[in-house]
Amino acid sequence: MNDRSAAPGGLALVESLVNTLDLESGVDALDTAEGRARFGLPENTEGAGHADDASGELAGARELRESLRAALLAHAGHPPHREVTPLGELLASAPLLVTIDERDGSARLAPSGPAASLLTRTAAAVAEALIAGTWNRLKACEAATCHWAYYDRSPAGRGRWCSMQVCGARAKMRRYRAK
């Protein structure tokens, strides 16, 4: 749906995760092995405990996705699309480390460990965006059948739709017809 370029830096991960579910068609990329692999989620494997672990991680990824969507809707001034676990509660359990670049002394929050979970990588991306001042520019489309994540590059930061050609045009046509 989105005709915009990807969000900068780590926000591309957040944008990509939110956009794994197409609300209009109901297609969820996390239902596919390829979609799960994009985010480092395990494939459902047969055997004692493995399938339960994989389905638990998948459920956690979906919960994270919808909590992120609610935050992005709030960035655009819209109420949550449904009841979700507050994003702050989810991210509070993500282990991050403060790392210092020895060349320039800059600091950043990074996932702890080499095989960091999706939750931890998302928390690091949000922290990076907070430091850069770009977090509030990642929004969810105003259209109730869409709520696609997009990075608002408008000068005033008042973008409302993922695509002016699709969602924006539909909204404007509805308003015109209502008059």
What per-residue confidence (pLDDT) applies to 159? 72
Our measurement of the distance from residue 111's CA atom to the centroid of its chain's CA atoms, rounded to an integer in Å, reads 17
pLDDT for position 91: 94
- Report the pLDDT value the prediction gives residue 48, as an integer from 0 to 100: 45
Q: What is the DSSP letter of 141?
A: -
**Rounded CA separation 161/152 (Å):** 9
Contact 65, 21 (CB under 8 A): yes
How far apart, in whole angstroms, are the C-alpha atoms of residue 21 and residue 141?
Answer: 13
Q: Which amino acid is at 139?
A: K
- Contact by Cβ (8 Å): 129, 108: no
Tell me how far apart the alpha carbons of residues 75 and 135 are, in angstroms, rounded to a whole number.
9
Q: Which of 109, 122, 131, 110 is nearest to 69 (CA)?
A: 122
Closest CA to 120 of 129, 109, 105, 130: 109
- Give the per-residue pLDDT at 115: 66
Short-list 140, 146, 144, 94, CA closest to 121: 94
Q: What is the pLDDT of residue 138?
A: 94
Predicted confidence at residue 8, as pLDDT, reads 92
What pLDDT is recorded for position 169?
Answer: 56
Name, in order, each residue with C-beta under 8 angstroms of 93's C-beta and a sequence gap of 6 or more: 119
Return the pLDDT at 161: 59
Which positions of the chain have pLDDT values less than 70? Answer: 1-4, 44-53, 114-115, 160-178
